[in-house]
């Protein structure tokens, strides 16, 4: 069975930080994979509850910037609300050349006794940042500042 | 000699190497790397590429520099130093680092290893309880927007006024713990929301709180050590490494976006998008400088609140007040910052990213307490190998814009380190070495294993021999708190 999306962490891209490559069969799938990679880098998502949620809508003419802003928004809410995440769903639409991402973040307040916490990601960087489509397959490469 | 670059690298001395300005199109000045031959060979290609990219930035003066702990960073290398003429030069968030005013703080005590060893487990548990660490951890200080504005303006002074520290602390913090040119109106609401709950928190990554011991045989300059409150004789000290947390990162990210657009307007082209910059005297440049100083003050306040909590923990465990335990601050240094300083070329904006200011004895900007010794420099090593206290020199002021190294520098990626050892395994291994570790994240702990870093002693020897800082004492870890 082929998964519609997947991700892997990259070993040697950023010595002091973290990086991942996400793949998907569509723009939505690659964004879902990148989102999952980011959530997993901060905490084991299966051990995080679902008591907190936030609906987010973002727009941009460029898809790479839209994904960058979405991932940055997740980092923002991690700090602003003091939460880690269980899941994040999203849809992406295009109307008249403007891309719209609607997402829903689900998580719970940080609890170091109950959750398996990982890295406190401080931001998404533009270093080697890429979102592209080749032969119907979408790929995103993202370096996280930890 | 085999280097990870094809560029010509000329030997100037045993510790200084130069890449001529002719090596890359657009270089305005040569690049200089401080390293022994061995350290130079171990440096990743990014150091050579990035330090020469920095040498292309408008208004750069004399040399683009990299210290021996240098490694690849975003835009500038970590360990990078560059000075720009304030009249025609630029300011770049990539030259400051995302974690604005990430820095080191050292607190002395009158306690010895014999006093602390029997209560070390209790002490580390109490420190772990009182100093929040790790993902999303919030501090105990509750602030509204008005109070946070005051923190951004007043830094550590704000903390002292509210009882989180001693008045004597301020003279032992770089800039007195408060940089004047901070303007909260230049900080976005987004950044404020990320920072308002984080005062007094360590974060994660390579940030830590460490209980250390200073042995007699590892005091190298007895007079300087005594002047700084370091007695040796198995003395216990406490080191803190952290910065402005998510707040500083958001300030940097917000202005990188502004600068990307501004560069087109000012006709500035850079070799790497993360070197985005603006003329220092442009509205965008001045706004970033004011916002960056807000983040710098917040970082001073963060380390001050953590210091208060450390003193509380020690007082609770040892049944004496922090004053009775002699818990004075040795010093607090920034190692991610841009500051206006005066040199023979005139007023320069000195960017230090993973580099520490190192003013020598008698420097007019040093407070009276350090006029004889020179400015203390605190360099953190890996959690297994120890750290160093050094002092600045006149030579640093002459040769490196008063700058030196900041730590040991990574040589192995986080992913590779995690493959090599598990966090629980490392924790046990360190316990056998006499180092008690409390960590929020076991995978985060594995990423910080000692073998993932350069040998700090080699790095320190390089700056000592180059004369840009002088060793005072080595600090050996016995307890560590990690996010």
Interchain contact B188–A (C-beta under 8 A)? no
B245/A76 Cβ within 8 A: no
Distance from CA of B276 to the nearest CA of A (A): 11
Nearest C-alpha neighbor of B69 from the set B446, B470, B463, B465: B463
A145/B249 Cβ within 8 A: yes
DSSP bridge partners of A19: A10, A143
Q: What is the pLDDT of residue A17?
A: 82
Please report the number of interchain residue pairs, chain A to chain B, with beta-carbon separation below 8 angstroms: 120
Q: Return residues 122-141 of A near B (CB < 8 Å).
A: 122-123, 125-127
A11/B413 Cβ within 8 A: yes
Interchain contact A57–B (C-beta under 8 A)? no
Residues with Cβ < 8 Å from B58, sequence gap 6 or more?
B28, B84, B88, B89, B90, B268, B277, B279
* Residue B25 tokens, joined: 């199109």
A123/B250 Cβ within 8 A: yes
- Strands B31-34, B64-71: pairing is parallel
Q: What is the pLDDT of residue A49?
A: 97
Interchain contact A114–B (C-beta under 8 A)? no
Question: Phi, psi at residue B457, to the nearest 5°?
Answer: -60, -40
For each of chain B's 483 residues, which pLDDT tens digit applies?
Answer: 899 999 999 999 999 999 999 999 999 999 999 999 999 999 999 999 999 999 999 999 999 999 999 999 999 999 999 999 999 999 999 999 999 999 999 999 999 999 999 999 999 999 999 999 988 788 999 999 999 999 999 999 999 999 999 999 999 999 999 999 999 999 999 999 999 999 999 998 889 999 999 999 999 999 999 999 999 999 999 999 999 999 999 999 999 999 999 999 999 999 998 999 999 999 999 999 999 999 999 999 999 999 999 999 999 999 999 999 999 999 999 999 999 999 999 999 999 999 999 999 999 999 999 999 999 999 999 888 899 999 999 999 999 999 999 998 888 888 889 899 999 999 999 999 999 999 999 989 999 999 999 889 999 999 999 999 999 999 999 999 998
Q: What is the pLDDT of residue A1?
A: 44
* Residue A138 tokens, joined: 């979408």
Residues B272-314 have pLDDT tens digits of: 989 999 999 999 999 999 999 999 999 999 999 999 999 999 9
DSSP bridge partners of B32: B18, B65
Categorise residue B319: left if φ over 0, alpha if ψ from -120 to 50, beta otherwise. left
Nearest C-alpha neighbor of B77 from the set B339, B357, B274: B274
Cα–Cα distance for residue pair B218/B361, rounded to 1 Å:
22
B440/A14 Cβ within 8 A: no
Which among A11, A119, A127 has CB closest to B74?
A: A127
A76/B414 Cβ within 8 A: no
Which pLDDT band holds residue A127 (cuts at 50, 70, 90)?
confident
B193/A76 Cβ within 8 A: yes
Indicate which residues of B carry an active-site annotation.
Answer: 406
Categorise residue B401: left if φ over 0, alpha if ψ from -120 to 50, beta otherwise. left
| List of long-range contacts for B423-430, beta carbons under 8 Å, 24+ apart | B430/B383, B430/B384, B430/B480
Q: What is the pLDDT of residue A3?
A: 56
Query: What DSSP string describes B210-223?
Result: EEEEE-GGGBS-HH
CA atoms within 13 A on the CB side of A10: 19
Among the residues of B330-455, which ranges form H helices?
394-399, 414-420, 423-432, 442-447
Nearest C-alpha neighbor of B389 from the set B466, B337, B335, B330: B330
DSSP 8-state class, residue B173: B
B-chain CB neighbours of A17 within 8 Å are 414
Distances (CA, A) of B277 to A141, B101, B223, B291: 24, 18, 43, 15
Distance from CA of B481 to the nearest CA of A (A): 14
Distance from CA of B188 to the nearest CA of A (A): 12
Query: What DSSP string describes B6-45?
Result: SS--EESSSSEEEE-GGGSTT--S-EEEE--HHHHHHS-H
Q: How many CB atoms lie within 10 A of CB A130?
A: 11
């Amino acid at each position: 069975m082929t998964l519609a999306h997947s991700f892997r962490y990259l070993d040697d891209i950023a010595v002091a930080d973290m990086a991942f490559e996400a793949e998907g069969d569509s723009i939505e799938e690659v964004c879902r994979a990148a989102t999952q990679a980011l959530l997993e880098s901060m905490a084991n998502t299966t051990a995080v509850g679902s008591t907190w949620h936030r609906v987010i809508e973002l727009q941009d003419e460029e898809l790479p910037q839209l994904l960058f802003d979405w991932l940055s928004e997740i980092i923002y809410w991690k700090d602003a609300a003091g939460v880690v995440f269980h899941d994040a769903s999203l849809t992406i639409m295009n109307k008249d050349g403007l891309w719209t991402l609607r997402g829903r973040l689900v998580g719970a307040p940080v609890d170091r006794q109950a959750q398996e916490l990982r890295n406190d990601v401080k931001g998404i960087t533009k270093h080697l940042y890429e979102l592209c489509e080749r032969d119907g397959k979408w790929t995103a490469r993202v370096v996280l500042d930890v | 000699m085999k280097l990870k670059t094809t560029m010509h690298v000329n030997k100037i001395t045993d510790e200084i190497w130069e890449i001529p300005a002719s090596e890359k199109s657009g270089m305005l000045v040569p690049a200089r790397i401080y390293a022994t031959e061995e350290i130079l060979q171990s440096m990743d290609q990014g150091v050579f590429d990035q330090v020469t990219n920095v040498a292309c930035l408008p208004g750069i003066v004399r040399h683009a520099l990299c210290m021996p702990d240098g490694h690849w960073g975003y835009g500038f290398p970590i360990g990078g130093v560059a000075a720009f003429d304030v009249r025609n030069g630029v300011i770049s968030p990539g030259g400051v680092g995302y974690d604005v005013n990430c820095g080191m703080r050292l607190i002395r005590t009158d306690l010895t290893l014999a006093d602390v060893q029997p209560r070390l487990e209790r002490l580390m548990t109490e420190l772990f309880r009182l100093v929040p660490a790790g993902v999303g951890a919030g501090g105990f200080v509750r602030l509204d927007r008005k109070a946070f504005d005051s923190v951004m303006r007043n830094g550590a002074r704000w903390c002292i006024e509210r009882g989180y520290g001693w008045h004597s602390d301020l003279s032992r913090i770089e800039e007195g713990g408060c940089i004047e040119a901070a303007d909260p109106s230049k900080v976005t609401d987004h950044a404020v929301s990320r920072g308002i709950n984080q005062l007094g928190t360590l974060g994660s990554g390579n940030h830590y709180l460490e209980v250390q011991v200073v042995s007699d045989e590892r005091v190298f300059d007895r007079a300087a050590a005594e002047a700084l409150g370091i007695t040796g004789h198995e003395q216990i000290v406490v080191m803190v490494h952290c910065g402005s947390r998510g707040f500083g990162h958001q300030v940097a990210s917000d202005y990188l976006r502004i600068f990307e657009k501004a560069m087109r307007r000012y006709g500035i082209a850079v070799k790497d998008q993360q070197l985005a910059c603006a003329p220092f005297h442009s509205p965008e440049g001045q706004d970033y400088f004011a916002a960056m100083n807000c983040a710098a003050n917040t970082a001073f306040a963060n380390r001050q609140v953590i210091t208060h909590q450390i003193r509380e923990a020690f007082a609770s465990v040892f049944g004496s007040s922090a004053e009775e335990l002699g818990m004075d601050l040795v010093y607090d240094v920034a190692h991610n910052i841009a500051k206006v300083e005066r040199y023979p070329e005139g007023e320069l904006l000195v960017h230090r990213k993973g580099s520490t200011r190192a003013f020598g004895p008698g420097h007019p900007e040093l407070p009276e307490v350090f006029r004889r010794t020179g400015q203390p420099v605190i360099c953190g090593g890996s959690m297994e190998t120890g750290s160093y206290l050094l002092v600045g020199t006149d030579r640093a002021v002459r040769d490196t814009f008063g700058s030196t190294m900041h730590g040991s520098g990574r040589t192995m990626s986080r992913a590779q380190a995690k493959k090599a050892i598990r966090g629980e395994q490392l924790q046990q291994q360190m316990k056998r070495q006499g180092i008690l570790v409390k960590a929020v994240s076991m995978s985060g702990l594995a990423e910080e294993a000692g073998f993932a870093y350069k040998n700090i002693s080699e790095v320190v020897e390089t700056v000592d021999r180059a004369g840009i800082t002088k060793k005072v004492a080595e600090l050996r870890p016995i307890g560590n708190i990690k996010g």
